[in-house]
Amino acid sequence: MAQYRLLKHKDYEISAERLPPSTRRKALWAQVLLGTRGRTPSVKGTTGLNAHWRRTPVQGNHYYMWWIPRSEVRLDTNGYGNGTHDDPNAPRQDQTILVHSIRHHDETDDPIDFGALTDYEEVAIGSLDPRYAEQTAVSTQVQQAYLALATVMGLPGSGKTISLLYLARDLAKRGDLQHILYITYTNRLKRAAQEFLQAQGEELASKVRVATLGEIEAQLTKLSSYHEPFGDLTRFENFVKTQSNSVLGPWRRYPQTLYTEIRAHLLGKTFPTAYPLPTSRAKELIPFQDGFNGKAYAKSRGLEIETAELACRLAERAQSAHFFQDQQAAFQAIQRLLKGRSPGWLAELDALVIDEVQDLTLVQIAMLGTMVQERRRRRADAPFAFVVAGDESQIVQPSGFDWGVTKDVLSDHLGLHPQDFEFSYQRRSPRNLAQLIDHSWELYTNLPKQLRPSGRRRAFLYDTVGQNATDEGNGEIFLCAPMELPDPQQRQPDNNWQALLDELTAKPGRVIVDLSEELKNALSVHLPTDEESKQQRSEAIFLPREIKGLERTTVILYGLNALYAHAMDLCHRDNYSDTIPRFEARRLFDEIRVALSRSTDRLVILEATDAPILEALNLEEIPNVRPIRWNTLIETLQTEELSALEVIQGYLEEVDDFFERGMWEQGYRRNRRAHELALLEEDEALRREAEEQYITGHVSEAAALIADQQWQPAFKVNQRAATLARKYGYPEFIDDVELQTSELVGAIAVEVEQRLAKAFDQIIQNR
């Protein structure tokens, strides 16, 4: 994505100087996002004389930073505002953003004085630093050590990623560090990091390489190991259904827990024989001994030997069916590194920065530690920084993450104990929703101590917007009794649920999180079965594992109390020697915490006011919790005012989420709605952004199909991208598409050659 030029009004600081430091820092981060992405995640529109101006919230719904794309500014012949649009295709105009001031909500309708272009001064994105003291301390203290090992711990929304991005930038500024590797988990996080670093300047960006963990595994082993988060789970559940009861044993009732155990606690903790296990953790880690070590696995997880052996045999079968390739790749990478076989770039590495470490299994973390050890062996006298950040309570992939074991493994590789940084302030979620997330930690107390998250409970510190927590901007929680689903045998239309789905998909930022995992199928009996209706349900209803990593303004939880009741039943079964049900309960509590943490403004819990889960979450201690009727909920959604600009930008944000998860059709539908609205609003900046996103979505889909070796569909989508680039007039994308076409042709040629060679060998053998 192209970088954006940022111009700030000369009087901006006057509007900001009396505001709290937290408000000013949020405004600074908003400016960084404008310079890197051209938009902020949350934005409000304007009407009347202020039409086309954007407002980014920087203190709840009280204060907003006002900005506008250069292409939307109306200028008179002297360069002053309120004239006419100049040429929308002028060079860089669509990539220039003007930041005016921070204004109170009460000033929204007051005409804004744009002034003249000469009133604005260019701001270098690299000069903006929105960090708080605890975030800056990471960079300061890491750079003081010749050999640094540091961990950054914090709950969701505490600012870990911002801290790491600026750390990478600061390391790149040093003259003695030339090669920094920044690893994150998903392609979207990778792109966000790349955009941030590119905005810091070409010289700095050239020193930092951003990659996903899957890409690094592939470079070390030549194995393709990347999968979408939980991309294998549905296929794995189908695989489990093909296995007999004698093969599955007690695991047959808990396929998702079996998936978690194999990935996180068996494959994810099995190490090559030559790997030196930390002596302090010998009981928890598993050496590979001509196969999976059932006894060691049973001991580490408190399982019966027979049950553990079943899991080991299932793991072998699953790997033969090409599951868990990322774990196999990490295992093989450690083997290669221990033999001194590593790519040339590893010897040149000066720093390694890891974000979202909680999504890595221990064998993947050990692979990173072994990389650092190999680098130090090859350049023992050179400085090095190794920093990892994560949150034990928010895991996208089942990883079995544990800060204690992680620190011990990394300490063994570097020969020193890590310096710990802990972030406690909530920088993202509204106060009341953050407090609810805090309360959900108590659910883990129903589990045996060894199955709880190992880190101590860390409560948020948070600021209250306005006079008290009931003021707007602190987050709303509604309790609404769900409508009963009609009898499936009657197959009668359900207007109540259809009305809710209609409102959820009518505007962006709204979603149902289905903790029962049955709602979509249950509704399909009573709602229209045409493709349009099916797409609507797929856009509005997410499973907990699908919503991980996403945020929505309004989140509606379905099936929360039933899931809690099931988890509690698993916790308190009479047969306490049966550990697997408690594994399942831990997984369910994790899902509940994820579901509760996805809203940025309004959370609706579809439960009666006397549901036991509400008492377990201590809801009575949280301000601004209110009951609401079903019809009133729908009316609230109907009357929620969103400007066209808010709708367009909301759609564009959701499209990024859909594309990240390979939900191409849903993403294209949302994108086309955004594009149509942008045309109606005559907003050139948003029109171009929607067109660029549509093209890059097709390029990404083609890349995914190429990775799956689906050559014909990949070529079709690739050519569609080329057609779109020409239609909309984006020559820079045509080059990307043609490069992908060449890659596709080359991959097909390699496969054809391999098939011909195989066929030829078969002919020779048959003679």
CATH number at residue 460: 3.40.50
**CATH code of the domain in which 722 resides:** 1.25.40
**How many whole angstroms separate alpha carbon 189 and alpha carbon 367?**
21
Share of the chain above pLDDT 70, in %: 90
Q: What is the C-alpha to C-alpha distance for residues 752 and 622, in angstroms, rounded to an integer?
A: 63
Residues 6+ apart with CB under 8 A from 63: 19, 23, 57, 102, 103, 104, 105
CB 746 within 8 A of CB 717: no
Count the domains in the chain: 5
Q: What is the DSSP string of 311-374?
A: HHHHHHHHHHTT--HHHHHHHHHHHHHHTT---HHHHT--EEEES-GGGS-HHHHHHHHHHHHH
Mean pLDDT to the nearest integer, 503-532: 88
Reported as a single tens digit per residue, the pLDDT across 625-676 is: 999 999 999 999 999 888 899 999 999 999 998 998 888 999 999 999 999 9
The DSSP output letter for 9 is E
3-class SS of residue 601 = strand
Residue at a domain's end among 323, 346, 374: 323
> Are 602 and 478 contained in the same domain?
yes
| Structural domain ending residue among the three candidates 323, 357, 383 | 323
pLDDT value for 442: 92
- For residue 681, is it within any domain? yes
Q: With contact defined as beta carbons under 8 Å apart, do 602 and 476 qualify?
A: yes
Cα torsion angle, 153, 154, 156, 159, sign: negative
Q: Look at residue 549 and tell me whether its pLDDT is greater than 60.
A: yes
Say whether pLDDT at 80 is over 80.
no
**Cα-Cα-Cα-Cα dihedral sign, residues 602, 606, 611, 613:** negative
Whether the predicted pLDDT of 215 surpasses 60 = yes
Average pLDDT over the chain reads 88
Query: Within a domain: residue 758?
Result: no
How many Cα atoms are found within 13 Å in the side-chain-facing hemisphere of 509?
21
Separation CA 240–CA 248 (nearest Å): 8
The pLDDT, as a whole number, for residue 752 is: 84
- Give the separation between CA 142 and CA 139, rounded to whole angstroms: 5
DSSP 8-state assignment for residue 266:
I
For residue 355, give every residue at least 6 positions away whose Cβ sits within 8 Å of its Cβ, in sequence order, or none.
Answer: 160, 161, 164, 182, 183, 184, 185, 189, 193, 389, 390
Asked whether residue 659 is assigned to any structural domain, the reply reads yes
Distance from C-alpha of 355 to C-alpha of 357, rounded to nearest angstrom: 5
pLDDT band at residue 247 under the 50/70/90 scheme: very high
Same domain assignment for residues 742 and 691: yes
Q: Establish if 548 belongs to a structural domain.
A: yes
Tell me the CA distances in angstroms from 213 to 183, 184, 203, 365, 762, one per residue in order: 6, 6, 24, 10, 38
pLDDT of residue 79: 59
Greater pLDDT, 495 or 615: 615
Count of CB atoms situated within 10 Å of the CB of 247: 14
Instruction: Name the band, by pLDDT with cuts 50, 70 and 90, for residue 88.
Output: very low
pLDDT tens readout for residues 148-194: 999 999 877 889 999 999 999 999 999 999 999 999 988 888 989 99
- Sign for the pseudo-dihedral over CA of 335, 337, 339, 342: positive
Whether residue 205 sits in one domain with residue 90? no
Could you tell me which residues come within 8 angstroms of residue 681 by beta carbon, excluding any fewer than 6 positions away?
Answer: 644, 645, 648
The answer to whether position 760 is within a domain reads no
**In-domain check, residue 138:** no
Task: Tell me the backbone φ, ψ of residue 243, rounded to 5 degrees.
Answer: -90, 145
Q: Is residue 761 part of a domain?
A: no
| pLDDT-derived band at 474, boundaries 50, 70, 90 | confident
Residue 95 pLDDT grade (very low, low, confident, very high; cuts 50, 70, 90): confident
Predicted confidence at residue 457, as pLDDT, reads 61
Q: Name the strands in the sheet holding 180-184, side by side, starting at the edge strand that comes first in the sequence.
A: 208-212, 180-184, 351-354, 384-390, 147-154, 419-423
pLDDT confidence band for 472 (50 / 70 / 90): low
- Give the list of residues 6+ apart from residue 508 with CB closer than 8 angstroms, or none: 642, 647, 650, 651, 653, 654, 670
Could you give the CA distance from residue 437 to residue 399 in angstroms, rounded to a whole number? 21
For residues 438 and 533, state if they share a domain. Answer: yes
Q: Which H or E run contains 104?
A: strand 96-104
**Phi-psi category of residue 426: left, alpha or beta, with phi > 0 → left and psi -120 to 50 → alpha:** beta
User: pLDDT, tens digit, for every residue of 399-417?
Assistant: 889 898 999 999 988 889 9
Instruction: Provide the CA 623 distance to its chain's centre, in angstroms.
Output: 29
Residue 623 contacts residue 469 (beta carbons within 8 Å): yes
Residues 541 and 457 in one domain: yes
Question: pLDDT-derived band of residue 469, with 50, 70 and 90 as boundaries?
Answer: low
Rounded average pLDDT over 330-342 = 94
Instruction: Yes or no: say if 104 and 62 are a contact pair by the CB < 8 Å rule.
Output: yes
Q: Which pLDDT belongs to residue 652?
A: 95
Question: What's the count of helices (H) and strands (E) in the chain, helices before strands?
Answer: 30, 21
197 residue type, one letter? L
pLDDT of 92 above 50: no
Residues 476 and 607 in one domain: yes
Cα 442 from Cα 618, distance rounded (Å): 9
- Identify the band that residue 90 occupies on the pLDDT scale cut at 50, 70 and 90: very low
Here the tokens at position 563 are 């899931």
Distance (Å) of CA 209 to CA 342, 514, 698: 17, 38, 25
> How far is residue 167 CA from its own chain's centroid?
20
Among 256-270, 478-492, 550-564, the minimum mean pLDDT is found in 478-492
Distance, in Å, from the CA atom of 208 to the CA atom of 669, rounded to the nearest integer, reads: 35
Amino acid, single-letter form, for residue 567 = A
Mean pLDDT of 117-144: 95
Decide: 605 and 560 in contact? Cβ < 8 Å. yes
DSSP 146: S
Same domain for 495 and 370, yes or no, is no
pLDDT value, residue 235: 87
Q: Provide the domain limits for residue 701.
A: 646-753
Q: Where are the alpha helices (DSSP H) in 597-663?
A: 612-616, 630-639, 644-660
The reported pLDDT for the residue numbered 460 is: 62
Order of strands across the sheet that contains 120-123: 54-59, 63-69, 96-104, 5-9, 120-123
What is the Cα–Cα distance from 262 to 97, expressed in whole angstroms?
Answer: 49
Residue where a domain terminates, one of 621, 640, 659: 640
Claim to verify: residue 455 and residue 565 sit in the same structural domain: yes
Res. 105: pLDDT tops 80: yes
Residue found under tokens 């007051």: 110
> Could you tell me if residue 140 is inside a domain?
no
Kind plus residue range of the DSSP H or E element containing 455: none
Asked if residue 41 lies in contact with residue 654, where contact means CB atoms within 8 angstroms, the answer is no
Q: Tokens 């996002």 sit at which residue? A: 33
CATH number at residue 378: 3.40.50.300
170 & 182 share domain = yes
**Spatial separation of the C-alpha atoms in residues 703 and 715, rounded to whole Å:** 10
Q: Which one-letter amino acid corresponds to residue 698?
A: H
Give pLDDT tens digits for 219-229.
999 877 555 55
Q: pLDDT band at residue 91, thresholds of 50, 70 and 90?
A: very low
pLDDT recorded at residue 1: 45
Which token pair is 206?
Answer: 């050239």
DSSP string, 396-422: SS-----HHHHHHHHHHHHTSPPEEEE
- Confidence band for 751, pLDDT divided at 50, 70 and 90: confident
Same domain, yes or no, for 283 and 346? no
Residues 575 and 626 occupy one common structural domain:
yes
pLDDT, position 226:
53
Q: What is the DSSP letter of 495?
A: H
> In this predicted structure, what is the pLDDT of residue 627?
96
How far apart are the C-alpha atoms of 8 and 117, rounded to whole Å?
Answer: 10
Query: Quick one: pLDDT at residue 624?
Result: 84
pLDDT band with cut points at 50, 70 and 90 for residue 84: very low
Calpha distance 323→317 (Å, rounded): 9
- Tell whether 333 and 197 lie within a shared domain: yes
Q: What are the pLDDT digits (tens) for 704-740?
A: 898 888 999 999 999 999 999 999 999 888 988 999 9
Distances (CA, A) of 488 to 492, 494, 525, 526: 8, 11, 6, 8
Length of the chain counted residue by residue:
767
Residue type, 430: P
Q: Which residues have CB under 8 Å from 165's CB, separation 6+? A: 193, 196, 197
Phi-psi region of 737 (alpha: psi -120 to 50; beta: other; left: phi over 0): alpha
